[in-house]
């Protein structure tokens, strides 16, 4: 790695839009200050902190540096990141809720059935919205490739593909292996299976994060019409409403199950509490974190509509 490349790798904390403007100036400054010597840890941490702040500002998390279409784009991407957290939470929720009806008296199944049904319906509709949004955005991605701008999005896309293929291979392997285990072994009776399941879950999470990161990179480099951007913003707002439905349904289902079937919640890997099982706590925490991102994103979208900005960047 050349000295120039060494300094350029240090400023990758900053968003691409910032680096396009100031990368050369900052790398020159770092080169003049440190040359071939080791860059102090304090300087590296400062770059990481300031770069992270710039990324948060560019994503629309705070500040007023964005306007109009850029604000709509940033808000929609924040909702997408919120949905990614919800997908992780939903996977945990689905695993915990397997065969829940057999654990609760028939007379008390109506409310949790409705709540769990809302979770499933809202989750399904949310996934459909994301797929439709991806299909709408596909022409812009193809145009990006035709314009020979592949190098600008190569790294996140390749990372996403590698993580995705790894997760698929891991999924196939664990499914085949699980078929040779008893139900007791698959549900916490076999510690090694539980550990493998955790590692597999991490591979899914990493693949999801990489895919969302790649989608974000592509979106920042893709030009779309004002009408399409408004449509995507409306879909992101609808997705936020569905996420709220998932969170509310999960909490209602949890409350009823904790009241009438606490032993059910206390079974399985890591579920050490009958009322407050750690996996379900983690799922709800992720949901609220996702809702926070999505709510900020929806507010940004509403602000962009209020601004009525007439042009795209």
Could you give the angle at the alpha carbon of 88 between the alpha carbons of 141 and 83, nearest 5°? 45
What is the pTM (predicted TM-score) of this model?
0.76
First to last CA, the chain: 35
From residue 169, give the alpha-carbon distance in Å to each of 32, 73, 78, 84, 174: 47, 33, 29, 21, 9
- pLDDT for 67: 62
- pLDDT for 3: 57
Q: How far apart are the C-alpha atoms of 311 and 13, rounded to whole Å?
A: 29
Three-state DSSP at 273 gives coil
Query: Tens of pLDDT along the chain (313 residues)?
Result: 555 567 777 777 787 777 777 777 888 787 777 777 787 888 888 888 888 777 777 766 666 655 667 788 888 999 999 999 998 888 888 878 777 887 788 888 889 899 999 999 999 999 999 999 989 988 888 887 777 777 778 888 899 999 999 989 988 888 888 777 776 666 666 677 678 777 888 888 899 899 998 888 888 778 778 888 889 999 999 999 999 999 999 999 988 888 887 777 765 555 555 677 888 888 899 999 999 999 999 998 888 876 654 444 4
- pLDDT for 125: 95
Which residues 6+ apart lie within 8 Å of 41 measured at CB?
none
């Amino acid at each position: 790695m050349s000295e120039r490349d060494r300094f350029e790798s240090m400023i990758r904390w900053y968003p691409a839009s910032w680096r396009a403007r100031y990368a050369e100036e900052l790398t020159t400054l770092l080169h003049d200050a440190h040359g071939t010597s080791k860059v102090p840890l304090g300087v590296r941490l400062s770059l990481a902190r300031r770069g992270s702040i710039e990324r948060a500002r560019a994503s629309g998390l705070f500040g007023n540096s964005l306007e109009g279409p850029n604000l709509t784009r940033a808000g929609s991407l924040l909702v997408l990141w919120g949905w990614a957290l919800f997908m992780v939470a939903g996977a945990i929720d689905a695993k915990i809720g397997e065969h829940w009806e057999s654990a609760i008296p028939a007379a008390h199944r109506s409310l949790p059935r409705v709540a769990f049904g809302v979770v499933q319906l809202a989750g399904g509709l949310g996934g459909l919205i994301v797929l439709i949004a991806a299909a709408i955005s596909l022409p812009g991605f193809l145009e990006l490739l035709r314009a020979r701008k592949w190098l600008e999005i190569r790294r996140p896309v390749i990372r996403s593909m590698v993580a995705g293929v790894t997760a698929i291979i891991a999924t196939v392997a664990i499914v085949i292996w699980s078929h040779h285990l008893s139900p007791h072994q698959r549900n916490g009776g076999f510690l090694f299976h539980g550990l493998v399941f955790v590692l597999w879950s991490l591979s899914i999470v990493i693949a999801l994060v990489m895919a969302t990161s790649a989608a974000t990179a592509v979106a920042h480099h893709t030009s779309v019409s004002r009408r399409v951007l408004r449509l995507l913003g409306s879909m992101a707002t609808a997705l936020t409403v569905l996420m709220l439905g998932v969170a509310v349904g999960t909490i209602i289902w949890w409350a009823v199950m904790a009241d009438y079937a606490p032993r059910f919640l206390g079974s399985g890997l890591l579920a050490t509490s009958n009322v407050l099982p750690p996996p379900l706590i983690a799922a709800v925490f992720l949901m609220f974190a996702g809702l926070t991102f999505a709510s900020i994103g929806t507010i940004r979208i509403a602000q962009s509509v209020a601004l009525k900005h007439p042009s795209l960047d």
